[in-house]
Amino acid sequence: MVLGGLSACGDTGVSAPSFGESASAQSPAAGASGGGVVPMAHLSPCPMIPDTVNIHTQADLDAFDSLDCFTVERHLFVQNTSDIVDLSPLHGLRSVGGYIGIADNTDLKYVKLPNLEKTGEGLVLEGNHALRKISAPALRYVKGNLHIFNNQSLKSVSFDWLISVGEDMIFAGNNALMSLELPKLTTIMGQFIFEHSERFKYLCLPNLVAVNGDFTVHFNPGLKSIIAPVLTTIWGDLTIERNARLQLLELDCLQWVTGDVVIIYNHMLPECSVDSTVAGIAHIGGDVITSDNYAVCPDVRPTARELGCTKCETNICVGDRCDDRWDRKCRDKCDGKKCDDYQKPPCKRGDCESDENGDYPVPA
pLDDT along the chain (364 residues), means of 10: 30 32 39 35 76 96 96 97 97 97 98 97 97 98 96 98 98 97 97 96 96 98 96 98 96 96 97 95 98 90 80 70 40 40 35 37 36
CB 51 within 8 A of CB 75: no
Is residue 105 included in any domain, yes or no?
yes
304 membership: H or E segment, kind and range: helix 304-307
Is residue 337 included in any domain, yes or no?
yes
Is residue 74 included in any domain, yes or no?
no
Is residue 165 included in any domain, yes or no?
yes
Kindly state whether residues 344 and 254 are assigned to the same domain.
Answer: no
> Of 284, 307, 330, which residue is a domain's last?
307
The tally of domains found in the chain comes to 2
CB 145 within 8 A of CB 167: yes
Is residue 90 included in any domain, yes or no?
yes
Kindly state whether residues 116 and 251 are assigned to the same domain.
Answer: yes
Kindly state whether residues 115 and 231 are assigned to the same domain.
Answer: yes
Phi (first) and psi of residue 69, to 5 degrees? -155, 130
Burial class (CB in 10 A: 0-12, 13-18, 19+), 18: exposed
Is residue 69 included in any domain, yes or no?
no
Please name the amino acid found at residue 313: E
Kindly state whether residues 268 and 355 are assigned to the same domain.
Answer: no
Kindly state whether residues 298 and 330 are assigned to the same domain.
Answer: no
Kindly state whether residues 290 and 158 are assigned to the same domain.
Answer: yes
Kindly state whether residues 364 and 324 are assigned to the same domain.
Answer: yes
Is residue 270 included in any domain, yes or no?
yes
CA distance 326 to 209: 22
Is residue 39 included in any domain, yes or no?
no
Which residues have a Cβ under 8 Å from the Cβ of 338 and sit 6 or more positions away?
Answer: 322, 330, 331, 332, 352, 354, 358, 361
> Of 307, 330, 355, which residue is a domain's last?
307
Kindly state whether residues 284 and 193 are assigned to the same domain.
Answer: yes
> Of 307, 329, 346, which residue is a domain's last?
307
Q: Do the strands 210-211 and 70-72 form a parallel or antiparallel pair, or are they unpaired?
A: unpaired
Kindly state whether residues 173 and 277 are assigned to the same domain.
Answer: yes
Kindly state whether residues 299 and 328 are assigned to the same domain.
Answer: no
DSSP 42: G
Domain housing 208: 84-307
Looking at residue 317, what is its pLDDT? 64
Kindly state whether residues 252 and 146 are assigned to the same domain.
Answer: yes
Query: Residue 116's CB: how many other CB atoms inside 10 A?
Result: 24
Kindly state whether residues 237 and 260 are assigned to the same domain.
Answer: yes
Q: Do the strands 202-204 and 179-181 form a parallel or antiparallel pair, or are they unpaired?
A: unpaired
